[in-house]
Amino acid sequence: MTAQKLHAILLFLDALDKKLSLQKSIEAVATDLVNLANSPADPTHQTALASHLSAFVAATDKLGAEIAPSDAAEIKDMGGKNYFDQSIGESVRNAIQTNAMTPSVARDFVQQLAKGRAEFLSIVRSTTDGLGRLGIKGTAPTPGTADMAFLIPRELFDNQLLPFSKELRFIALYLENLGEALTGEVRPVQVEQLSSSLPTISLAACIAVISTVALAVNKFLDAWERIERIRKVREELSGLGMAKGANAKELDDEITTTVENVVEETTTTVFLSYKGSTGRKHELENGVRNGTRRLFGQIERGLKIDFRANSENASDEEAKKSLAEISQLSKVIKFPEIAQEPLLLQEGELLEGDIEIKRIAKTATKKTTATTKKSPDATPV
């Protein structure tokens, strides 16, 4: 994580806590429990506890929609999971209900939680202030724009420069092909930030490109749930000695077919409103199709993409809608664990950068209709 990313997350946590009044609510619950433990027969304390507990649970229920999966992982790493997890509201409620006859037990639990949150928030705010004083500040997309960051695990290029450069080349060519197909123009992708610990490259591109990548990744990850079920069946059959030969190939082909359906749907959607020459369209279709397939294969091996958008001052309603969609997708996209036995790409395909279409026994179904509207033809950041 870069220092700028850390600063941005810390700012986000502080703002989120204030927005939902989380600390204020849990401290109110703690006070009510102290009063109830001292005077268990006083109905006013019970009424106050019920009101404040309801407010706290309602606030924590919103955490799942507010915190993106990628940010949740970072928050967990810095020790904040127990304080910003959606489940803490129910944990408090259960502690109170389970110890209805001994409110002192629930009191101690909630007081400890409130104290821990307060200490964590104090560190968050002091660190945010310190980073700011050192001139290290997180950045956000300027109004009316979006960006995305590719997190490239070192295992994809074995810490070698040449394979790493091919990963960057693949990303650049794929995004430029998408840009030309969607807007009719070759638009260079701008580098915003670089980080070396976990190689991360933050890029600015036109809204149409970022929206398309976000939608494609989301569709692939939806399909991944089916792929994971197929994998589990494959493992179970393997344990029984049945996932061999034709059986194993049929399951592998089913996985590949599932991916190919998403690849074809994405490619079809990209070219719904293409107005360029037929020859160039054919070249771009191959580039987008192969690039999308490779992107999915890299995700299987650990590649992650963070999306951000700021819909304020959008150029038009279509752009505003796309930016809002990107922002929403960023909060729900959750990347899978790295596959122990990747199936989508072969090692040679990873190194060379130019992958070939896999030959599979089961033909992928091409979808000729798409509900996605044309992404806005926005200008680069």
Residue 230: pLDDT above 90? no
Higher pLDDT, 95 or 372: 95
- Structure-block tokens of residue 36: 């109830």
**H or E segment to which residue 56 belongs:** helix 43-61
User: Which residue type sits at 377?
Assistant: D
Closest CA to 163 of 341, 289, 306, 301: 301
Higher pLDDT, 281 or 101: 281
Higher pLDDT, 4 or 32: 32
Handedness of CA 235, 236, 241, 244 (dihedral sign): negative
Distance CA 213, CA 173 (A): 13
Task: With H, G, I as helix, E, B as strand and everything else as coil, classify residue 148.
Answer: strand
Residue 168 has what pLDDT?
A: 92
For 295-330, how does the pLDDT look when each residue is reduced to its tens digit (9 = 90+)? 998 998 889 999 998 888 787 888 889 999 998 898
Strand 145-151's sheet: what is its strand order? 190-195, 200-204, 145-151, 304-310
Residue 247 has what pLDDT?
A: 63
For 48-90, how does the pLDDT look when each residue is reduced to its tens digit (9 = 90+)? 999 999 999 999 999 988 888 778 888 988 899 889 998 999 9
Higher pLDDT, 188 or 263: 263
Residue 71 has what pLDDT?
A: 83
Residue 370 has what pLDDT?
A: 38
Q: Are 128 and 6 in contact (CB under 8 A)?
A: no
Confidence of residue 369 (pLDDT cuts 50, 70, 90): very low
Residue 195 has what pLDDT?
A: 80
Closest CA to 64 of 332, 335, 334: 332
Task: Map out the domains of the chain as residue ranges.
Answer: 3-133, 145-352
Residue 205 has what pLDDT?
A: 87
Q: Are 352 and 290 in contact (CB under 8 A)?
A: no
Residue 345 has what pLDDT?
A: 61
